[in-house]
Amino acid sequence: MTSRLNPYISFAGNAREAMEFYESVFGGTLRLSTFGEYGQADAPEAGKIMHAMLETSSGYALMGADTPPGMPHNPGDNITVSLSGDDAAELRGYFEKLSDGGNVTVPLEKQVWGDEFGACQDRFGISWMVNISGS
């Protein structure tokens, strides 16, 4: 698998509804994972979407999630660019360069879903997420 760049939209509690709508618009396959599936089964947000991914036959990939409690949600400011794939060296290099002069918000490290993940804001204020699958 090669690396991909795709948009990641943050929602204010309606990610499931929004992503199902996008599925009806673009077609494709929608995968939804809740916070409850990843160790937060008793939390109020257990049924909310931790990660959604819509992949279409046209090659589009759209990701999204409900904004977790404690994190700001600013409509109009709620899109992050996501880089994902299995080329660990390439993706780690991108993360290092993007975060240089910016701010690492989540260190690039192994996560509960089994992948290596990190998030940063570059020096221009753009938010980025990097996910290395199968690490």
Q: What is the pLDDT of residues 90-116, one digit of tens each?
A: 899 999 999 999 999 999 999 999 999
Q: Homologous superfamily of 4-132 in CATH?
A: 2,3-Dihydroxybiphenyl 1,2-Dioxygenase, domain 1 (3.10.180.10)
Residues 42-59: tens digit of each pLDDT: 888 889 999 999 998 878
pLDDT averaged over the chain? 89
Global confidence as pTM:
0.71
Q: How far apart are the first and last CA of the chain?
A: 14
Residue boundaries of the structural domains of the chain: 4-132
pLDDT for the residue 12: 87
Where is pLDDT greater, at 11 or 79? 11
- 15 has pLDDT over 90: yes
Query: What phi and psi, each to the nearest 5 degrees, are found at residue 47?
Result: -85, -5
